[in-house]
Structure 1
Amino acid sequence: MDTTRNERLTAWMKEHGHSSASLADAVNSAMERFAGRPGGHDGASVRAWKSGRIRWPNTATRKGLEAVTGLPSTDLGFVPRGGAKSTTAPNQEDPDMKRRTLIGGLAATAATAAAVPGIAPRRIGNTDVERLQRRFTEIIASDHRHGGQLNIEKRAAALADEALNLQNSGSATQRVRSNLYAAAAAFRSSAMWAAIDGRRYEDAQEHMREAQALAEMSGDQAIKFRIWSHAGSMYRHMGRPSDAFAANDVARGLHITRRDPMFASLGLARQAAIHGAAQERTGVRRAFDQAQTAMDRADAQASRPVWLVAFYDQAELDSLALSAYLALGDYQTAEAHAHRCLSSLRPHMVRSQAITQTRLAHAQLAQGDVDAAVDAAMKVPTAAATQHARVSRMLNEFGAALRATAPGNSTVKSWTEHTAAWRASA
């Protein structure tokens, strides 16, 4: 039996960050969408496809693979029995049928437009893409002002659906369609981040899976990086450092990090924060040194996505360092990074300023500087203190630590009165 290795499938998996197990899961989920029950594949099944031991999977499996990858089976290196061409690509079966595309474990619905006799289809162009990109900029601005709000999450998810609906509304070039998928993925990733920031982790994981699907269809490396990097942050906040490392490694493995040191720097900075959560002091220092080096050699004039330009700079690097060293219990170093971050934060980073002030208060209290800690905590705006889930939780923890650390200190009463005023004005 000819068992020539399937290099095309192997190359596709490497490019898109799939292990044998993750591709099996994605195909199983795709099969469930159109067959009503999941497939039974595992890592061994995928290894059989890669090795060439299975050269032409059954029809249901081929449909699942084509849904996941967006490619005909023959383009994935599979060889039809008798030399026949694959005919299972969803848009070849029925041009009027909605096709389901699942990539990375979740379905993203993409329907081809039905032709209406005698009526020319609308032409979708760059102006439609540019309009969506302007709306994305608005979402980014709202996130940096407020962060974590359910209305931001819902608005971003609705805009993702709007971008997908455009796929139905007329004809377009492949480039425009790819840009629409990228826009939908960008909106979903913002919905994902809003849910993470609001500690709505189940919702965040749902958005993540759909964002991953859309990003794969778009082929946009930058948005793939954003989604996987967000996933790393999500698992870090959930207290799952092993999963956080795995997700962040996917982001750092994309070739965009080799093309642009700024992406490499962000990936390394978030890796360092995960090392902090995992109590790996050496890993923290090494990753931050590498992140700083990468940032220093990045071209400041290079063209980058609005979401990256809007937040990643020296202040954000120090913010991630603050988080890492706080988790390690190195409060003096954490405080130094907090002051550096606050000194260079841009005015629109309202949410980040509130988080940094709160972390600074924790670092100062842990060093016994009660007055300075309470002063820092009181600088957090009322809106963030009462409406941002992550900030509210950290401030509640600060209050508990303050009462335990300095039960007889007059600042405890001041803090209690201050938080009562927050709640009254919220």
Structure 2
Amino acid sequence: MRENLALRRLMNDLGLTQAELARRTNIALGDLTGKPGLVSERTVYNWLSGVTRWPPAKHREALRAVFGCTGPDLGFSRPDKGRRVPPEDDVRRRAFMMAVGGATLAVGSPEMTAPRRIGRADVEQLKARFAGVIASDHRHGGRLSVESRAVALADEALALQQAGTASQRIRAALFACAASFMSSAMWAAIDGRRFDAAQRYHERAARLAAMSDDGAIQFRIWSHAGSLYRHMRRPGDALAANDVARGLPIARRDPLFASLGHARHAAIHGLTGDSNAVRRSIGRAQESLNRADFEAIRPVWITAHFDQAELDSLGLAAYLALGRYEDAEAHAHRSLGLLRPHMQRSRAITSARLARAQLVPHQATFALSEVLPVDGFGRWR
């Protein structure tokens, strides 16, 4: 047996004990299968010690959701050829042999040798599935199941690159689809505060987006990076990443993209304590939003997400970070009044931030009232 050093290193990077990894894997299994997972500390020990060299498919998929890595990247290896073939591989092999047996006479025919042609229909099918990922995100937020599904679909989009022939335009579109799915995995990881995984997704998404030459998805990825570093409380990195997004041609050409870039800049400036920068960024975001043509054709991820309600939500985050609670509360009320019905995740976040804006200013009063009596009008005696 050989110790699984790759898995141990990933656990150390995330500060996971065997018990915590078992817990997270069971959560992922629940999201994936709808049934509680049964992974124990002993199961994790078997993975680490090398007793289990290739876990069952559902465990590998759950671990992918936890770490953002595939089986081999986690230090697992497929069984040797001399070992017993898993049942699912038996099924695939029998299906393959039946297909080969039925096609023996046609081996030399053009139909059997011609590679598949990948076309616009394949791309449109991937885009439809991407819309499903976006819908899941708005309902559930940063669940591991959303993250895992997005990664799997990114891999599927990339697999089409190898499945047949395609024009340069179609290949670029496939890379854009893969980058879109990977950016959704990144966003789910950010939302779930799995920041190490989010950083790995960002690196992969940025490479894919560069090969796609798609300005919209490049904007999304770098804008997400700004949000990632903001949540990690690294405002310098957040401003730099968001500046990449704001500097893209699409942000200069389309006021809606420009507005989102300014609004996220405001939220980052809130961390720096620069109230003037927050005010300027929100003002620019509002001006750009007022100029946006909402009838224009745009990617589903921005049309389903960004509008006046989201601008006010980012304003809420900015003023909450500044400690300007009345301004934060005003933005929260406007956002909640404008949120579209499908924005369930956003409604939950905005409601929680509103509660904080209303409660935090009174915490000092509650603490001080224990030692300094307050009269019936809320004044110190």
Determine the structure 1 residue equivalent to 2:83: none
Determine the structure 2 residue equivalent to 1:26: none
> How has the CA–CA distance of structure 1 residues 363 and 182 changed in structure 2, closer, same or farther, with 3 Å as cutoff?
same
Contact 1:332 1:367 (8 Å CA) reproduced: no
TM superposition score normalised by structure 2: 0.67
Within 5 Å, which residues of 2 pair with 1:103-182? 119-182=113-176
- Does residue 315 in structure 1 map to residue 309 in structure 2? yes
- Does residue 363 in structure 1 map to residue 357 in structure 2? yes
Q: Displacement, 1:333?
A: 0.4
Cα distance in 2 for residues equivalent to 1:407 and 1:153: 46
Within 5 Å, which residues of 2 pair with 1:19-418? 119-368=113-362
Q: Displacement, 1:367?
A: 3.4
Q: Secondary structure at the match of 2:304?
A: helix
Q: Displacement, 1:366?
A: 2.3
Which consecutive residues of structure 2, in runs of 5 or more, have no partner in the other structure? 1-106, 372-381
Contact 1:181 1:217 (8 Å CA) reproduced: yes
Determine the structure 2 residue equivalent to 1:80: none
> How has the CA–CA distance of structure 1 residues 297 and 403 changed in structure 2, closer, same or farther, with 3 Å as cutoff?
same
Runs of 4+ in 1 over 4 A off after TM superposition: 401-408
Q: Displacement, 1:228?
A: 0.1
**Which letter maps to 1:309?**
T
Cα distance in 2 for residues equivalent to 1:302 and 1:239: 35
> How has the CA–CA distance of structure 1 residues 156 and 407 changed in structure 2, closer, same or farther, with 3 Å as cutoff?
farther
Cα distance in 1 for residues equivalent to 2:345 and 2:120: 33
Cα distance in 2 for residues equivalent to 1:402 and 1:158: 51
Q: Secondary structure at the match of 2:297?
A: coil
Cα distance in 2 for residues equivalent to 1:142 and 1:197: 13
Q: Displacement, 1:406?
A: 8.4
Q: Displacement, 1:301?
A: 1.1
- Deviation digits for residues 232-285 of structure 1, max 9, x if unmatched? 000000000000000000000000011101000000000010000111111000
> How has the CA–CA distance of structure 1 residues 348 and 407 changed in structure 2, closer, same or farther, with 3 Å as cutoff?
farther
Q: Displacement, 1:312?
A: 0.1
Q: Displacement, 1:299?
A: 1.2
TM superposition score normalised by structure 1: 0.60
Percent identity over the alignment is: 63
Cα distance in 1 for residues equivalent to 2:195 and 2:305: 22
